[in-house]
Structure formats: structure tokens, C-alpha cells
Amino acid sequence: MPGSEILESIVPRSIIIGNSILNKIPQIIVSLRFKPKVMVLTGTKTRHIIGEEIYAVLEQEDITFDTLIVEEASLEAASTYQDSVRDTNSNILICAGGGKVIDVGKYCSFKASEKTELISVPTTASHDGIASPFIFLNDPTEKYIGESRPPVAIVADIDKIIQHPDLPRYLAAGVGDTVGKMTAIWDWRYAHRIKSVRFSRFVGGVLQSADSLFQNQVSEALVDQENAIKVVLKALLIAGVLMGTSNDIRVGYGSEHLFSQALHSETPDNDILHGERVAMGTILMAKLQGQDYQQIINILEAAGCPTNIDELEEEIDPDAIVNALQKAHRVDSIYTILGETGLSKKAAETLALQTNVISS
């Protein structure tokens, strides 16, 4: 029919959050494929935290599998890993780890010639990539590489996530990535008004309700680590799934993420977490958008997430923030509060100082 539009929503088939649930993986595999060819992807550290237990669970059910240790998440490395996936004819990838392993897994499943399903087994609750269909690879600047299918299943074992050696920091970064949805959704609506991009009222409404719920729950939840993991995980999963539902990255990716990527380019050797950069970007962009940025600072402070460069674990130059603010609009073609020309140096400095992201 002329003028009709086909919207395809792809969402995970199952999301399991709970304690000691890795033994659910074999039944997911059996439900997916008559002849599964499984590959387990882990990182060097996550192999010991979670990978070996997954190997044991699969062996117990007589499911044969190949293994792959992901050491790097550059585009070049991901292409090499993709060769291994192809050579083993793997059609189910179990990605157990943090962002790096899951992003590489998404890339491999995206590039595979045959349909390759991905089971995401996150070891942190620090970013929404654990459920979204979008891939970020650190090459050269955490650039958005492309869209994949979202994971077919997400198995989030609280007992494993709680063991992360740097749990409070990663959880706080998860809160940082979650508050970023407030500025992302504002940008999406703005782009709809200014550039007529498609905006889903349904997705926008669901995300906003989920965000309010998160804001109400998060301070209380942070008192208890296990509860905090569940609240942050659910918020990240909702955002990731909504990206797949609407097939639009703008659900969770606005000017705050553009700033995050620009800052990553300015400080490539720095070990600032994605959610920590997004948190600072959210404070800055909320102020530009006329939103209550102090409320965002309050949520982040309650979570222990850095709200200015002095609180970061690694030292960064205030100029990096100002430069990133000036360059952020060029990171991606999506239209945001930054417009087509971005901020002047003076405006960027004023914004960073007014929000206390840098000190005078």
C-alpha cells in the first residue's frame, strides 16, 4: 500500500535475571537450534569468573562447544574473531563478560553469513549494550559501527555480577548510562520537531515511565548491593530492549553519548568507563536542554558516580572536556541539542564550569 511503513521490532526471546541461573543456558540452546554449534566467548578475566562454569554446565548436558577468548575490541580484532566463528560454523554465540565481549559477539553474529544467535551473559550492570542491537567497537574512537540483531536471550546471574572486583564503580557507571536516557529522549523529540525524524510516542512514553520508576527506586536500592544490581540491570535491559523494539538508536543515544564518544577520542588511553563519560555528558546536555540537571547530579552522587573530572579515577585535563563539547556534534549524524554547528569554545567552557564538571 503506498505510504505504508513497515516497522520491524526485534526483541530478545528470553530475559532471565536471578541467582545461580547459568544452568538455564542449555535449555535456551536446545530451544534455539536442532543442531547447535556453540561457541563461548569470554575475556581473559571473565573466563575464570564465569566462563569455566558455563563450560561445565554445557559439558554436563553433553553440549559440545568451541571457546574464544576476546582480548581486544577493535574492529581489526573483531574481524579476526569473526574468522574463528566462521571457521567453526558456530550458530550460537554465548557472550559472557562485560561490554567488550558482548560487542565483539554482536559484531561476529552480525557479520556471519548464516543466522547466528547471541546469548548475552553479562558480568557487569554498567551499560545497556547487554541487551541492545547496537555495536560499539573501540576503533578508532568507540565509533558506532552498526546495528546487529539484539541478543536472543539475556542471562544475568546476580551471583556472578556481585563478584565483580570493582562492583561499586561498575554499578555507578550503570546508573550513569541509565540517566543518559533522559537527555537522549529529549534529543529524539527535538529532532522529531526540528527535522521530522520518526518518533515513537509509545517507546518514548515507556522509557520515560521506566526512567521515573528508576529514579524513585535507585537511591533506596543502592543500600543493598543485590537489589541495586537488579534495579540497574532492569533499567539497562528496558533501554536495550526498547532500542530493538523501535529499531532506533536514539532511544538511548543522544547528545550525551556524542559527548562521551568525543571525550573518548580526546582521552584514548584513559580508562574512564562508558557510563562515567555518559554521566558527565548527561549533566552537561541536561543543562543545555533546560532540564533539571541538579536532579541528575543528585542521582549520580547517590550512586557514587563521578559528576566532575576531579572525582574520576584517572586524571584528565579540563581542556579535554571543553574540546569534546566542541566536537561532539560531529561524532554522528543524529540531530541533537548540539545542532549542526555545535558549541563555541566560550559556550563550552561556560557550560562545563556552570555544571561543575570542571572547576575554575
Stretch that binds Zn ion, among 32-40, 52-60, 173-181, 280-288 (CB under 5 A): 173-181
Specify whether the CB–CB gap between 45 and 183 falls below 8 A: no
Which residue number, 103 or 177, has a Cβ lying nearer to Zn ion? 177
Stretch that binds Zn ion, among 93-101, 171-179, 241-249, 316-324 (CB under 5 A): 171-179
Stretch that binds Zn ion, among 150-158, 174-182, 240-248, 303-311 (CB under 5 A): 174-182
Which residue number, 28 or 210, has a Cβ lying nearer to Zn ion? 210
Which residue number, 177 or 349, has a Cβ lying nearer to Zn ion? 177
- What's the closest the beta carbon of residue 257 comes to Zn ion, in angstroms? 6
Stretch that binds Zn ion, among 7-15, 159-167, 170-178, 262-270 (CB under 5 A): 170-178
- What's the closest the beta carbon of residue 146 comes to Zn ion, in angstroms? 16
Residue listed under C-alpha cell 511503513? 5
Residue listed under C-alpha cell 543442531? 35
Q: How far apart are CA 263 and CA 277, in angstroms?
A: 7
- What's the closest the beta carbon of residue 117 comes to Zn ion, in angstroms? 23
Picking from 136, 91, 146, 96, the residue whose alpha carbon sits closest to that of residue 120 is 96
Measured CA to CA in angstroms, residue 193 lies from 81, 199, 258 at distances of 42, 9, 20
Count of alpha carbons within 13 angstroms of residue 300, beta-carbon side: 27
- What's the closest the beta carbon of residue 144 comes to Zn ion, in angstroms? 11
Residue 18's DSSP bridge partners are: 157
Specify whether the CB–CB gap between 93 and 103 falls below 8 A: no
Nearest residue to Zn ion, using CB? 177
- What's the closest the beta carbon of residue 256 comes to Zn ion, in angstroms? 8
Stretch that binds Zn ion, among 102-110, 169-177, 181-189, 348-356 (CB under 5 A): 169-177
Which residue number, 157 or 177, has a Cβ lying nearer to Zn ion? 177
DSSP result, 185-237: HHHHHHHHHHH-----HHHHHHHHHHHHHHHHHHHHHTTSHHHHHHHHHHHHH
- What's the closest the beta carbon of residue 48 comes to Zn ion, in angstroms? 27
Number of residues counted as binding Zn ion (CB under 5 A): 1
Which residue number, 26 or 129, has a Cβ lying nearer to Zn ion? 129
The angle subtended at Cα 193 by Cα 188 and Cα 195, nearest 5°, is: 85
At residue 147, the 3 state secondary structure works out as strand
Beta pairing class for 144-147 and 134-136: antiparallel
Which residue number, 177 or 332, has a Cβ lying nearer to Zn ion? 177
- What's the closest the beta carbon of residue 253 comes to Zn ion, in angstroms? 7
Picking from 21, 23, 34, 9, the residue whose alpha carbon sits closest to that of residue 92 is 34
Which residue number, 99 or 105, has a Cβ lying nearer to Zn ion? 99
Decide: is 177 part of the binding site for Zn ion (CB under 5 A): yes
| Chain contacts with Zn ion (rule: CB under 5 A) | 177
